[in-house]
Amino acid sequence: MSRRRKRRNHFLGKFILLIGAVYGLILAAAVIYSTGDLKELGKRIEETGNPAGNQVDLSSLYSESAVLLDLDTGKIAAQKKGRERIYPASLTKMMTVLVVLENTEDLEQQVRLSEDIFPELYEEGASMAGFVPGEHASVRDLLYGAMLPSGGECCKALAEEVAGSEEKFAELMNDKAQELKMRDTHFTNSTGLPDKKHYTTTRDLARLLEYAWENGDFRAIFTTRSYTVPPTDGHPEGFSFYSLMFQEMDQSGVASDYILGGKTGYTSEAGLCLASVGTVGDKTYALITAKADGSHDTQPYHILDAVSVFQKLNGE
C-alpha cells in the first residue's frame, strides 16, 4: 500500500472516530435532557398531586382559583388555576400577622395608633377593627384586630411599630415570601389594598398558610371566633370584635363542623377570597380560594366553596 493511501486511511479512521464521538455526545445530551424533563415532570406531578387520586374536584367551585393543601404532608391534594396570578386583598394580612409575630418578642408591648394612618384607610373604604386615632393597644390586641375583623388600622400600626414604616415592613414581607419560595408573590403594603405590584397566587398563599400554621400564636389567632380588647385610653370599657368568616357563616345560615378557622378577603379587583383550615378525619387541610364573583352584598360564595370542599372530603 502506498504511503499516500495509508495517510488517507489514517485520516479516514480519525474522521470516523470523530463522527462517532460527536454522535455519542449528542446521544448522551439527549438522554440527560430527557432525564431532566422526566425529573421536572415528576416534580410537577409531586407538587400538584396525581389528578386521578384527587379526593375532590375543584372545577365546579365559584372561585376561579383554588388550592387544597394537605397540612400533614405538605402535598397539594387538588388545585384549580393555582399558578394564576391574583390580587390577595385581605388575605395579605396573614403575612402581616406572621411577620409581626416573628419580629416581636413581647406581644403585650403597647403600640400607639398614629393619626396619620387613618385618612388613607377611610378614603379607600378599608375594613377597620374599631380602634381610634391616638389610641394605645397591645401588639396582641392589634394582631387579633388585623385577622378577625380585618382591621386596616391594626396592620398599619403594627407595620410602623415593627419596621418604622409600611414601606420597610413590605420589604420584610417580601423577604419572608422569598424565604418560603413564594415565587410569584410581591407585597407593597400590609393591608392588601389594591396595587398592581401587589399580587400572589393561591399556591403561594397555601405555602404561606402551611408555614404559618406551625406557629402556635398564629394558629390561635386564625381559629378564634371573637376577641375582647381590655380597657384602653380610647375605649375605657374595652370592646369586642369577631371573625368575619364565622360572622358571615352565622348571618347567611351556612354551617360547617369541619372548618377550624379562616381569613376572608374582598376587593372588586380580587373578588371574594378565603383562606381556611379544616379537618378531614384525623387529617388537616388548608384551602385557599380566590376570585369568586360577588361582594359583601351577595351570597358568601367563597365560604360556600370552602364548606362544599370540606363536606366532600368528609364524604358528605
Domain spans of the chain, in order of start:
53-313
Rounded Cα–Cα distance for residues 226 and 57 (Å): 32
Rounded Cα–Cα distance for residues 285 and 78 (Å): 11
pLDDT score, position 16: 52
Residue range 188-219, pLDDT digits in tens: 999 999 999 999 999 999 999 999 999 999 99
Q: What contacts 173, CB < 8 A, 6 or more positions away?
A: 95, 96, 99, 187, 190
For residue 189, the SS3 value is coil
**pLDDT confidence of 56, banded at 50, 70, 90?**
confident
Q: What is the DSSP track for 71-98?
A: TTT--EEEEESTTS-B--GGGHHHHHHH
Provide φ and ψ at 231, rounded to 5°: -50, 135
CB 287 within 8 A of CB 276: yes
pLDDT score, position 190: 98
pLDDT score, position 42: 36
Residue 295 CB neighbour total at 10 angstroms: 14
pLDDT score, position 36: 47
C-alpha cell at 246: 364565622
Residue range 268-284, pLDDT digits in tens: 999 999 999 999 999 99
**pLDDT confidence of 63, banded at 50, 70, 90?**
very high
Rounded Cα–Cα distance for residues 192 and 92 (Å): 5
Residue 32 has pLDDT above 50, yes or no: no
Rounded Cα–Cα distance for residues 295 and 157 (Å): 27
pLDDT score, position 27: 53
What CATH class does 53-313 carry?
alpha beta
Question: If residue 154 lies in a helix (H) or strand (E), which one and from where to where?
Answer: helix 152-163
| Closest-CA residue to 302 (of 258, 270, 264) | 264
